[in-house]
């Protein structure tokens, strides 16, 4: 079990507040992995630490806390092996659905296409306004 001050060091964060923000971002996933210790101290299990480390790794690669928590949730729903608890990993005959990753990749590809279309529209709008006099010149 890890206390909040221990998690600061383990996750390479600077303050306990950052740890608490990350716990709050994954509160629904961590429900079974949180305990209260002496003096009402918040304790996180080893499995809970794995979720927090996954979240922190995503945050360090440039994702916002909200985006990273959504990705961790998505990956945990798909029962990806790196996000399962140790108890789940030791269960025999439990298969990982292979159809989960293609669906996620398709979702991301659709997002990229949508963003590319928005960028093209904005670039076209910028090109249309080039060569025009500024709007404030009409009153000068």
Residues 93 and 85: their CA atoms lie apart, in Å, by 16
Structure confidence at residue 75 as a pLDDT band (50, 70, 90): confident
Q: Are residues 78 and 53 in the same domain?
A: yes
> Mean pLDDT: which of 21-25, 102-106, 123-127 is highest?
21-25
Q: Is the pLDDT of residue 15 over 90?
A: yes
Residues 79 and 67: their CA atoms lie apart, in Å, by 19
pLDDT over 70, % of the chain:
84
Give pLDDT, residue 100: 64
**Residue range of the domain that includes 21:** 1-93
Structural domain count, the chain: 2
In-domain check, residue 19: yes
CATH, residue 46? 1.10.1660.10
C-alpha torsion sign, points 67, 70, 75, 76: positive
Q: Are residues 117 and 48 in the same domain?
A: no
Q: Are residues 72 and 109 in the same domain?
A: no
Q: Is the pLDDT of residue 92 over 90?
A: no
Q: Are residues 52 and 118 in the same domain?
A: no
In-domain check, residue 137: no
pTM: 0.56
pLDDT tens for 30-56 read 888 999 989 989 999 998 999 999 999
Span 106-133, mean pLDDT?
86
């Amino acid at each position: 079990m890890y206390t909040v001050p221990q998690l600061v060091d383990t996750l390479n964060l600077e303050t306990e507040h950052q740890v608490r923000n990350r716990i709050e971002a994954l509160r629904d996933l961590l429900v079974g992995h949180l305990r209260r210790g002496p003096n009402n101290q918040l304790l996180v299990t080893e499995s809970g630490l794995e979720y927090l480390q996954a979240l922190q790794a995503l945050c360090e690669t440039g994702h916002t806390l909200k985006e990273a928590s959504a990705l961790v949730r998505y990956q945990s729903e798909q029962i990806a092996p790196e996000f399962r608890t140790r108890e789940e990993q030791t269960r025999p005959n439990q298969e990982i659905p292979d159809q989960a990753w293609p669906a996620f990749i398709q979702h991301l590809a659709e997002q990229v296409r949508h963003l590319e279309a928005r960028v093209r529209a904005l670039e076209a709008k910028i090109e249309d306004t080039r060569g025009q006099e500024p709007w404030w010149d009409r009153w000068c």
